[in-house]
Amino acid sequence: GAGVSQSPSNKVTEKGKDVELRCDPISGHTALYWYRQSLGQGLEFLIYFQGNSAPDKSGLPSDRFSAERTGGSVSTLTIQRTQQEDSAVYLCASSLGRGPHYEQYFGPGTRLTVT
Partner 1 sequence: AQTVTQSQPEMSVQEAETVTLSCTYDTSENNYYLFWYKQPPSRQMILVIRQEAYKQQNATENRFSVNFQKAAKSFSLKISDSQLGDTAMYFCAFATGANSKLTFGKGITLSVRP
Site for partner 1 in 38-57 (CB under 8 A): 42-45, 48, 50, 55-56
CB of 100 to partner 1, least distance (A): 4
CB atoms within 10 A of CB 109: 20
Residue type, 27: S
Q: Judged by CB, which is closer to partner 1: 1, or 14?
A: 1
Q: Which of 26, 31, 112, 114 binds partner 1 (CB under 8 A)?
A: 31
Q: Which of 73, 82, 94, 95 binds partner 1 (CB under 8 A)?
A: 95
3-state secondary structure of 84: helix
CB of 97 to partner 1, least distance (A): 9
- Residue partners of 53: CB distance under 8 A and separation at least 6: none
- Per the CB < 8 A criterion, the answer to whether 34 and 91 are in contact is yes
Q: What does residue 84 show for φ and ψ, rounded to 5 degrees?
A: -60, -30
Q: What Rg do the C-alpha atoms of the chain give, in angstroms?
A: 13
- Site stretch for partner 1 (CB under 8 A), options 12-20, 61-69, 78-86, 98-106: 98-106
Applying CB under 8 A, which residues contact partner 1? 31, 33, 35, 42-45, 48, 50, 55-56, 59, 89, 91, 93, 95, 98-104, 106-109, 111
